[in-house]
């Protein structure tokens, strides 16, 4: 049977002219019995308010230790999680052939023997590669050919025969024998003598950093423990700097030590537990930079690159609600900031020896509605990525101030500025894709404006963009704002309300949803589904003001925007109430919980991946990793009664009530430090007895992973296949007897 026949055989419920259901229905078989979680009511008094939590016992009191060693989970909690996993497997048993088929489709769209476009740095080009069957990448380098600038000098090198690539790290060997293994960061020292990499071996985002001598292939020094995963070498390669992760899962200190091993020294300690910290180097390698920030306030500190053991100095002291980040452009500082009312950000410059705000001069002034997301620097050019109307653009500026844009002509697309891997170059890299168009990677000469196509994403099983339609519509929100929606469908999929619709949303932290390409979505779209992305408030899809309009006391705009998108898609024929599956993860999982409570009639199914649903309890628990850092986003219910009441009014877990809920799938990871496993576990426990629809409420907890799911590229696809099979299952009601 060819691929077209496989797709056709499973397309009936999608409105295509094919006979036969996608899923077989149970015939007279007894339905599995769902677990019934015990209730131990706990009364919580807070700010004169009272709430009762009957499932608080699911939070392991020793959760910090469980994150680092999941085998320490309490027996009764583990028993409930395993029972929930078994129930989900039994309920979805009829979808196993579909899951297998979609997994094979998704796997078939991956070029297994693939490699990244090499990044040139000095005498080497660095890249990653996958071999056929590999779950994890191999980190490689090869000697560079051609002409380049190095330390102000022209270097030319040619070879009679192509040089042999050198293996730096095989992450498959690193992962051997482990249920989970993720390389957080990997990279060579500036002198190319050392190679460092960080590994999370349990999914809790607690990393160990290793350093290898590339001349001998041997590890040097003791592994660095309890790190966040990020690190940087000093410009001379003699020192390594990293961020510590404390017992509560928060970054709290910057350390350094000699790169080849030696005494560890505290460089910086952040006293405010609501701040994230990290360390890196400026683009021109003249300084080390310590970045300090939360959701709305930031500060940077610098260390001279030629004096890496010096104490860090502040560029400009932090001020609440002012954000800035700093880079160095050869002879001046470049400051990307929202200072002075620049809501959509601007770019300033400042003297090298006087980087404080008093000396910030506008280089790229603020323009309302043009959100400057980021900047990238090389010796004679500065590039910036901008966002407006849920699309991106890249603008190039030379030192004289002349500008030009890299233009694109599609209704919805994604441009991503990759920047450059070295400072003395005129070439930057960027990627382009759209919902129907695979990713193309270009090298762009900023001086000549010539672009070189370096790679086009290959789809081994075949893909023709001409078979698909990409649309952009604007849904009117209740307050009159227009919310962009990106739509992907096959040309032959009808737009008359008969096709099933998956509507995806996020809407938090100012993170935009790119209108980009995903091979996995094709397993729905090729079955006649319509796939839509709601660019709702809370993200920065239409500028930073789009984010500010849906946080703290206006957070409900995120939820009503998503509902408005669904209603508009129904009006335009892209969907039909009761044939829509809503999907979101993490903070987008909170969105799922909220719209599930507010408008259950719209959805056939709701999928919350690692869903942040126990909002009031989590934001009241200062021991959790993300609680103090996220008060600027959600509010502080410990001290602010108004914030408590507003948060409680939408908290998905607290607002569950007796009503006809759609089918629900919640997923989580036992080692997740961001959305802890008990949030989806508690949500399911409270939802199941509340729903009067008879539709299933299911839980999938990965007992060997964290927030991002399985670490292997194929294992992850199995999780996606399960989610998409649930979407089809919820539309077809294959679970009904």
Choosing from 325, 443, 609, 672, which is the catalytic residue? 672
Task: State which H helix or E strand residue 678 sits in.
Answer: helix 678-690
At which residue do the structure tokens 């990677």 appear?
441
Question: Sign of torsion, CA 589 591 594 596?
Answer: negative
Instruction: Look up 707 and say whether it is catalytic.
Output: yes
Interhelix angle 96-108/713-732, nearest 10 degrees: 130
CA distances from 565 to 28, 188, 545 (A): 39, 46, 19
Catalytic choice (298, 707, 711, 730): 707
First and final CA of the chain: distance in angstroms? 30
Q: Rounded to whole angstroms, how far apart are CA atoms 22 and 415?
A: 36
Q: Quote the CA–CA distance of 200 and 227 in Å, as a whole number.
A: 9
Residue 281, C-beta contacts closer than 8 angstroms, at least 6 positions apart: 232, 233, 234, 235, 287, 288, 289, 305
**DSSP label of 115:** B
DSSP 624: S
Q: Are strands 276-281 and 437-445 parallel, antiparallel or unpaired?
A: unpaired
**CB-CB contact of 531 with 487 (8 Å):** yes
User: Closest Cα to residue 544, out of 341, 399, 694, 365?
Assistant: 341
Length of the chain, in residues: 737
Q: How many CB atoms lie within 10 A of CB 215?
A: 8
Residue 232 pairs in a beta bridge with 241
β-pairing, 182-188 with 663-669?
unpaired
Is 654 among the catalytic positions? no
Phi/psi at 517 (nearest 5 deg)? -95, 140
Can you spell out the DSSP letters for 187-249? EE-TTSSEEEEEEESSSSS-EEEEEEETTT--B-SPPEEEEEEEEEE-TTSSEEEEEEE-TTS
Cβ neighbors of 53 (< 8 A, separation 6 or more) are: 41, 42, 44, 617, 682
Distance, in Å, from the CA atom of 31 to the CA atom of 9, rounded to the nearest integer, reads 26
Give the Cα separation of 566 and 602 in Å (integer).
Answer: 8
Among the listed residues 178, 237, 249, 253, the one whose alpha carbon sits nearest the alpha carbon of residue 207: 249
Structural contact between residues 221 and 239, judged by C-beta atoms closer than 8 angstroms: no
State the maximum Cα–Cα separation within the chain, in Å, rounded to a whole number: 79
Cα–Cα distances in Å, from 505 out to 73, 497, 707? 32, 20, 17
Residue 19: which H helix or E strand, with range?
none
| DSSP structural state of residue 122 | T
The CA-atom distances, in angstroms, between 213 and each of 124, 217, 226, 264 are 16, 5, 22, 19
Question: Which residue out of 586, 651, 671, 730 is catalytically annotated?
Answer: 586
- Beta bridge partners, 8, equal none
What's CA 697's distance to the chain center, in Å?
A: 26
Are 581 and 595 in contact, with CB atoms under 8 Å apart?
A: no
398 catalytic per annotation: no
Q: What phi and psi values does residue 360 have, to the nearest 5 degrees?
A: -75, 125
- Which residues have a catalytic role annotated? 586, 672, 707
């Amino acid at each position: 049977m060819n691929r077209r026949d496989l797709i056709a055989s499973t397309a009936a419920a999608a409105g295509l002219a094919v006979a036969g259901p996608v899923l077989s229905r149970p015939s007279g078989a007894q339905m599995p019995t769902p677990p019934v979680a015990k209730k131990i009511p706990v009364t919580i008094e807070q700010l004169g308010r009272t709430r009762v939590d009957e499932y608080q016992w699911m939070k392991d009191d020793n959760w910090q230790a469980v994150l680092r060693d999941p085998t320490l989970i309490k027996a009764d909690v583990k028993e409930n999680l395993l029972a929930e996993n078994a129930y989900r497997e039994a309920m979805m048993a009829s979808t196993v052939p579909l899951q297998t088929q979609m997994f094979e489709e998704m796997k078939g769209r991956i070029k297994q023997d693939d490699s990244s476009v090499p990044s040139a740095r000095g005498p080497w080009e660095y890249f990653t590669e996958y071999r056929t069957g590999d779950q994890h990448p191999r980190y490689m380098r090869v000697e560079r050919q051609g002409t380049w600038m190095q330390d102000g000098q022209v270097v030319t090198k040619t070879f009679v025969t192509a040089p042999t690539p050198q293996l730096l790290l095989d992450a498959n060997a690193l992962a051997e024998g482990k249920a989970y293994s993720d390389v957080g960061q990997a990279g060579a020292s500036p002198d190319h003598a050392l190679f460092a990499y960080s590994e999370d071996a349990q999914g809790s985002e607690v990393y160990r950093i290793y350093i290898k001598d590339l001349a001998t292939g041997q590890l040097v020094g003791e592994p660095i423990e309890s790190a966040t995963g990020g690190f940087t070498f000093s410009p001379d390669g003699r020192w390594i700097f990293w961020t510590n992760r404390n017992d509560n899962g928060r970054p709290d200190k910057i350390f350094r030590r000699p790169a080849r091993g030696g005494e560890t020294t505290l460089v910086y300690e952040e006293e405010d537990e609501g701040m994230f910290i990290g360390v890196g180097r400026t683009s021109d390698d003249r300084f080390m930079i310590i970045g300090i920030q939360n959701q709305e306030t930031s500060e940077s500190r610098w260390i001279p690159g030629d004096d890496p053991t010096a104490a860090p100095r502040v560029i400009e002291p932090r001020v609440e609600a002012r954000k800035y980040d700093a880079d160095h452009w050869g002879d001046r500082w470049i400051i990307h900031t929202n200072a002075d009312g620049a809501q959509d950000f601007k770019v300033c410059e400042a003297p090298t020896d006087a980087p404080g705000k008093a000396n910030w001069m506008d280089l790229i002034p603020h323009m309302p509605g043009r959100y400057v997301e980021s900047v990238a620097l090389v010796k004679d050019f500065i590039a910036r990525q901008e966002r407006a109307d849920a699309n991106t653009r890249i603008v190039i500026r030379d030192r004289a101030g002349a500008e030009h844009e890299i233009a694109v002509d599609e209704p919805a697309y994604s441009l991503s500025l990759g920047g450059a891997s070295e400072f003395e170059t005129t070439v930057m890299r960027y990627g382009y894709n759209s919902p129907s168009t695979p990713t193309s990677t270009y090298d762009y000469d900023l001086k000549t404006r010539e672009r070189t196509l370096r790679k086009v994403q290959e789809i081994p099983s075949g893909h023709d963009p001409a078979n698909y339609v990409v649309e952009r519509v604007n849904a009117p929100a209740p307050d009159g704002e227009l919310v962009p929606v990106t739509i992907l469908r096959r040309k032959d999929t009808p737009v008359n309300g008969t096709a099933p619709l998956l509507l995806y949303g996020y809407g938090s932290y100012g993170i935009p949803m790119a209108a980009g390409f995903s091979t996995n979505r094709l397993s729905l779209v090729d079955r006649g589904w319509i796939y839509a992305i709601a660019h709702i408030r809370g993200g920065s899809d239409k500028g930073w003001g789009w984010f500010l309009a849906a946080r703290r006391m206006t957070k409900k705009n995120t939820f009503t925007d998503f509902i408005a998108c669904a209603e508009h898609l129904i009006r335009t024929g892209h969907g039909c109430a009761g044939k829509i599956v809503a999907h979101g993860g993490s903070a987008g999982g909170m969105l799922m919980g909220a719209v599930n409570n507010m408008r259950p009639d719209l959805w056939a199914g709701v999928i919350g991946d690692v869903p942040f649903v126990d909002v009031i309890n989590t934001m009241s628990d200062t021991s959790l990793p993300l609680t103090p850092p996220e008060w600027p986003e959600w509010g502080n219910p410990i001290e602010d009664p108004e914030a408590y009441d507003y948060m409680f009014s939408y908290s998905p877990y607290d607002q569950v009530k007796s009503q006809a809920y759609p089918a629900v799938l919640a997923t989580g990871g036992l080692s997740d430090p961001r959305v802890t496993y008990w949030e989806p576990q508690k949500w399911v426990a409270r939802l199941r007895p509340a729903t009067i629809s008879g539709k299933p409420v299911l839980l999938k907890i990965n007992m060997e992973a964290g927030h991002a799911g399985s670490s292997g590229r194929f294992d992850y696809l199995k999780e996606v296949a399960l989610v998409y099979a649930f979407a089809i299952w919820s539309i077809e009601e294959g679970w009904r007897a």
